[in-house]
Amino acid sequence: MNAKAIVLPVHNGRRGHPVIFSSALYGELLAAPADKARRAVVWAHSADVLEVPTDEQGVVLNLNDPDMLRHANGKDED
């Protein structure tokens, strides 16, 4: 089996997080624009990505969104 430089989880066809990068890509990550660094490196190395299927919905949730975080914690308002 060939090792891949980037590993990321996939839930129901959607790529999620955390994304794991080989240390060989750290310089490229640091040099990329801050708002697009991870995506830019993933796009640049699309042939070197290993997608790992998972049933865990949490990999695709945006927990930086307060409403999504409340939902994920089961604290939705009725």
Q: Does residue 36 or residue 30 have the better pLDDT?
A: 30
pTM above 0.85, yes or no: no
Tokens, residue 75: 């604290």
Kindly indicate the confidence band of residue 47, based on its pLDDT and cuts at 50, 70 and 90: very high
| Rounded Cα–Cα distance for residues 57 and 75 (Å) | 17
Q: Does residue 74 or residue 60 have the better pLDDT?
A: 60
